[in-house]
Amino acid sequence: MIVTHVTEPTAPPAYLYGSLIYQAMDTHYEILIIGGGTGGIMTAATILNQNKQAKVGIIEPSESHYYQPAWTLVGAGTFNFDKTIRPMSSVMPKGAQWIKDEATGFDPENNAVTTKSSGKLTYDFLVVSPGLAYDNSLVPGLGEAMDKGVVCSNYTDPKHTWDVLRNFKGGTALFTQPTTPIKCGGAPQKIMYLAESYFRRSGVRAQTNVVFATNGTVIFGVPEIKKTLMEVVDRKDINLRFGYNLVKVDGPNRIAWYKFADHVGEYNHKDVKTEKDGDLTGIHYDMMHTAPPSLAPAFIRNSPLVNEAKWLDVNIHTLQHNRYPNIFGIGDVAALPTAKTGAAIRKQVPVVLNNIDRLKKENKLGSKTYNGYSSCPLVTDYGKMVLAEFDYDNHFTPDPKLKQMLITDSSKESWRLWMLKKYGLPYLYWNKMLKGKEV
């Protein structure tokens, strides 16, 4: 039934699709999806491509859908931020019911999800894909400094990052990250490589020290990619500091404070200003870029669906919940020992849908499994990129389709890979992935 307004205060909520408002009278779904990001939209679109009669609901409160992988390029002044945004209504698959609301809790024993204003929704199968939440309070002082002055993050405001780069006049350019899991673990260093190039263009590189302080032990875990990136580090004269755990930020005095891990080490030392405070070491910065501390959304963390670390507790190969067999997890919120990227979702969705289909028809899991595939497009300069594709064991697993682009070794810097990042991947995202088409 199509309506233009709701007059009764007790009427069921309205769900927006395109330019029309549909009154949703039902609260039970064959497949209920939490999250209108990459995972949720791709899952719904693929289901409906296969069965247009499937009853699919998507719980998502946001009005906009973002293509966040391009924000690295936005922060370096080489991509239009406005082109990374589309109305959520424009990406909702035809036939899916958009429940424009927030999920607030779970009752898995009764196959139900509670919402902020739509009441309780029930399901045959539940796909959980809400993405990550940010919590700057995990690094005291970061919230007060983030996206202001000389502290920036492509994760939250890439336009401010570009402002910071353009206004930088030299000194210590600090690139860092928290100890929590983050989206695309390579992102904090991508902007560093582009920033270093921009500093050369703007004439301030000679009076600049570029520092990468990370809690990790190596620049990248895949040997083939590590080799190339260390060559980039040498070419760009970047100081790497490993085992640096960011614990607090002093915004007014521009100091990032670190506690050392057991594996602390340094490569290509730069004599930047530091100071000690007990067991903490502070690096003085003239600009700083960081990823925000990340964790699962509160309604996930406080639910019966999580493991001890408060991530969605799923089997790492089947993506099926370890205690509730009709619940599956996709994307960043899932407790999977691999990088949290959109490329990983591309491989996870077919596994989840194959399992749901077989469970419906034969009451057993399907034959497809997830091997931990993830991909990190590592931009190393304006016009150059490396494509890290890998599995749970950090084996380098390049896509054979790259040969169609005349790319024989994607572990090496390539202009063709840069073109893929800037033009090819956004096109594939909007026109293939979100349409539920194989990429």
CB 98 within 8 A of CB 45: no
The radius of gyration of the chain's CA atoms, rounded to the nearest angstrom, is: 23
Determine phi and psi for 137, rounding to 5 degrees: -65, -15
- Give start and end residues of each alpha helix (H) in 215-268: 223-236
Active site residue 184: yes
d(CA 259, CA 276) in angstroms, rounded, equals 10
What residue type is assigned to position 282 of the chain? Answer: G
Residue (of 143, 259, 265, 138) closest to 212 by Cα position: 265
Beta pairing class for 56-59 and 97-99? parallel
d(CA 211, CA 175) in angstroms, rounded, equals 6
Residue (of 184, 182, 197, 190) closest to 212 by Cα position: 190
d(CA 73, CA 425) in angstroms, rounded, equals 13
Q: What is the DSSP string of 76-93?
A: TTSS-GGGGEEEHHHHSP
Beta pairing class for 20-23 and 294-295? unpaired
Candidates 44, 74, 127, 184; catalytic one: 184
Residues paired with residue 257 on neighbouring β-strands, in sequence order: 248, 282
Candidates 356, 376, 387, 402; catalytic one: 376
| Per-position b or e across 290-300, b if 16+ CB within 10 A of its CB | bbbbbbbbebb
DSSP, res 7: -
d(CA 374, CA 369) in angstroms, rounded, equals 14
Determine phi and psi for 251, rounding to 5 degrees: -60, -50
Active site residue 376: yes
The CB-based long-range contact list for 429-433 (8 Å cut-off, 24+ gap) reads: 429/38, 429/67, 429/69, 429/342, 430/67, 430/86, 430/91, 433/38, 433/42, 433/342, 433/346
CB 273 within 8 A of CB 284: yes
For residue 124 the two structure tokens come to: 């045959």
CB 292 within 8 A of CB 92: no
**Residue by residue, what is the 3-state secondary structure of 135-182?**
CHHHCCCHHHHCCECCEECCCCCHHHHHHHHHHCCCEEEEEECCCCCC
Q: Which residues are catalytic?
A: 184, 376
